[in-house]
Structure 1
Amino acid sequence: MTDKTNDKQKHESKLIERQKEASLVRKIVLICFFVILLTIAGATYATYQYVVNAIGPVDESDEEMIEVEIPIGSTSTRIGSILEEHDLVSSGSMFRYYVRYKNEDGFQAGDYELSRSMSMDEIIDELKEGTIYEEYQLTFTIPEGRWLEEVTERIANETNLEKEELVELVHDEEYLESLIERYTMLSETILDENIRWPLEGYIFPARYDFVEEEVTAEQVIQAMLDRTAATLEEYNAGGSDMSYHEILTIASIIEGEARNDEEREIISGVIHNRLNIGMALQMDPTVAYAHGEHISRTLYEDLEIDSPYNTYQISGLPIGPINNPGAASIRTALQPVEHSYLYFYHAADGEVYFSETYSEHQQVLEQHRD
């Protein structure tokens, strides 16, 4: 046998071996493909089954009627929680997502009789056909960014309550401790003796309607705290690395600084950037709160005040919120826009200028400061 013959046989042998390897690889790839396909199909089916079960009746055979009260001003998050508490839906979160998916609204406050045999669609229909309170006996509105001191005065002006009664209640330690037990968002932090108003930041700015002609201070405070709790739950504040107190403190600074929603997002990013590098926040609204009076223009002598609220004198966040922020500020406190800005300046022309470095910021001041 010649060398050429041997080489030819070796070549053919290698070729056959390579073909076997290629065939094996194709089989492995094909098997992997089908495994992945089956896994995706299984996951999709499981998800589908979960959703179908979640929006279906909790128990088709249980037709016992359960009395449920939906308070005025309840969000879909709050309604979902109430339904879950009464075991009328398997998941309050799924109720909220389903309502959003179907773009449902128009839920009416009132008393309902619902059963566990009802599907989520049937419950939604019932909640939309409930009692409509067309004529409220008592209505007042709290704008965003107001100090709690101003809130108590506004409530007193528009209800049967006295400001002194409200002020005394929101400083009553026994009452505050009862609220801490009731609300997850509240902690012993609010009882710090250096905090001016324990519930500052926790009073949600919104319109409040009551069917009663006269209300108690406890009713009003509870309604406002309920709205804040529902908003924090809606934005999944419990899943944040920050405490509720820190979230509302940041939100209050955003509320004090921003003029519109676009600014809120960027200013939130500035605050987070400064906190991340250990840089003093140096936010003017905290200085005004430290002084206990609104300041139209912060002067250098104003910055000297010794206060746990003065972010020119302390590092990190102030001891607590400096006003009562709205939903947009709470959302942006949790969802800041990512950027590299560390400075901003509101000019007299109404524009806000953001800068990444101190030298850039100084140039902006030279160009736009009076």
Structure 2
Amino acid sequence: MKKKAILIGGILGIFVLLAAGLYSVRWLTTPVAPATASSQRFVVTKGDSITSVGEKLYNAGLIKHPLLFRFAVWQQRLDTKIQAGSFLLAPDQSVWEIAQALTQGTEDVWVVIPEGLRVEEIARTFEQADLEAFDATEFISLAKTKEGYLFPDTYLVPKLITAPEVFALLTKTFDTKVTQGLADEIAASKYSLEQAVIMASLIQREAGKDPEEMRHVAGVLWNRIEAGQGLGVDATLQYIDGQDPGTGKWWTPPDIAVKSSTSPYNTYAFAGLPPGPIDNPGVAAIRAALNPIQTSDFYYLHADGQIYYARDLAGHTANIDRYLR
């Protein structure tokens, strides 16, 4: 009799545990809010793991526990189908529905703007993203006087974004990441933000991506300015030359005749900084312009993917003989 009671008790205990477990799963997987809850935009960034997406969903108040999303993805075999992008989600969706929603077409478009593009190239990049309401000509008209202040970055934008909205987004991002983000470095520098952006646009085309190389090139170019010399930067000739009519490309090797140009951007003909930036530089180039390496070098040349520096013309000539002939 005693054994029978124990058996019955054990069976009842199992049923209680199963019921509690089923109730818990049901509670956890039901929506966190009723149907009246408002939707919100949720962004999955490129490179996000399933775990990090679950954490973001939980922090956004869209699911009851991060592990639930991982379980829903595993159970529905969606681990390779979650997309990067922007999605409209609501707290009245179940975790299963949310997981499925993140596999559907995103409402927004990723646009990558590399450092060192000029306004026309940025316009073309957005145009090629197939944004339905974006007009490249309108953007160029708005942005031409803001060359240098259109921040290069990876942007997630609505498919219906307009040219004025793109312009506002890029200039606002510059203000956030440079004007505000580098405020202390700007205040500590001997150069103004305007001077730094112009110099950075040259550095961006001349020095590659290594921050220390950028600072070294910046030191050379500031030395030339302080000595009253012309900068002699080929990238400014390329800026004057514009788009190659044959290939449609920008930044092609300049024609020798451009060195005789009367454009104020001709750094072979005129000393000092050009009147404005020649492209839109990134943070590393701007920081290099604000804080250059203190150097005695006045010359540099590119060869075999390297930059070789020299203090004087004799050293520069020797580098030419050694690396370019």
TM-score (norm 1): 0.55
Q: Mark the CA change 1:367 to 1:134 in structure 2 (over 3 Å): closer, same or farther.
A: closer
Matched residue, 1:329 = 285
What does residue 275 of structure 1 align with? 225
Q: Output the CA distance in 2 between the equivalents of 1:317 and 1:131.
A: 52
* Residue in 2 that maps onto 1:358: 313
| Contact persistence 1:291–1:305 (CA under 8 A) | no
Q: CA deviation at 1:131?
A: 7.4
Indicate conservation of the 8 Å contact 1:204/1:326, yes or no: yes
What aligned pairs does 1:283-322 form with structure 2 within 5 A after superposition? 283-293=233-243, 294=250, 296-298=252-254, 300-322=256-278
- Paired residues of 1:201 and 1:325 also in contact (CA < 8 A): yes
How much has 1:167 moved relative to structure 2?
2.2
Deviation at 1:216, TM superposition (A): 2.1
Matched, 1:230 2:180: no
> 1:129 aligned to 2:59?
yes
What is the CA deviation profile of residues 121-176 of structure 1, one whole-angstrom value per residue up to 9, with x for unaligned ones?
Answer: xxxxx9x9347996321221111111111111111121221212212333xxxxxx
Written as runs of structure 1 = structure 2, the 5 A alignment for 1:5-16 is none
1:167 corresponds to which of 117, 134, 140: 140
1:100-249 mapped onto 2 (5 Å cutoff): 129-130=59-60, 135-136=85-86, 137-158=108-129, 159-160=131-132, 161-170=134-143, 197-210=144-157, 212-232=158-178, 233-236=180-183, 238-239=186-187, 240-249=189-198
SS at match of 2:168: helix
Aligned-pair distance for 1:338? 1.0
Separation (CA, whole Å) in 1 of partners of 2:164 and 2:255: 40
**Aligned length in residues:** 225
CA RMSD of aligned residues (A): 3.1
Q: Which residue of 2 aligns with 1:179?
A: none
Asked if structure 2 preserves the Cα contact closer than 8 Å seen for 1:166 and 1:217, the reply is: yes
1:296–1:154 CA distance, 2 compared to 1 (3 A): closer
Higher mean displacement: 149-158 or 233-242: 233-242
Specify every segment of 5 or more residues in structure 1 that has no aligned partner in the other structure, as ranges. Answer: 1-71, 73-107, 109-125, 171-196
Structure 1 residue 298, shift from structure 2 partner? 4.4
Residue 276 of structure 1: how far off its partner (Å): 1.6
C-alpha contact 1:353 1:364 (8 A) present in aligned 2:
yes
Specify the alignment match of 2:22 in structure 1.
none
Letter in 2 for 1:209: L
2:135 maps to amino acid: E
CA distance, structure 2, for counterparts of residue 241 and residue 361 of structure 1: 28
Partner SS state of residue 306, structure 1: coil
Look up the match of 1:123.
none
Show CA shifts across 1:311-353 (max 9, x none): 0011100010001101110111111111111000001x22211
Within the alignment, does 1:256 sit opposite 2:205 as a pair? yes
Query: 1:113 aligns to what?
Result: none
For 1:304, give the aligned amino acid.
S
For 1:139, what is the secondary structure of its paired residue?
strand
Distance 1:221 1:201 in 2: 12
Query: What one-letter code is carried by the residue in structure 1 that aligns with 2:299?
Result: Y
Tell me: CA distance 1:353–1:215, structure 2 relative to 1, closer, same or farther (3 Å). same
- 1:273 deviates by 1.2
Q: Is the 8 A contact 1:345 1:354 kept in 2?
A: yes
Provide the C-alpha distance between the structure 2 equivalents of 1:359 and 1:147, rounded to a whole number of angstroms.
35
Structure 1 residues 295, 141: CA separation in 2 closer, same or farther (over 3 Å shift)? closer
Aligned mates of 1:328, 1:157 — CA distance in 2: 27
TM-score (norm 2): 0.62
Structure 2: any 5+ residue segments left out of the alignment?
1-42, 44-52, 63-82, 87-107, 244-249
Report if aligned partners of 2:242, 2:251 keep a CA contact under 8 Å in 1: no
Which stretch shifts more, 304-313 or 131-140? 131-140
SS, match of residue 352 in structure 1: strand
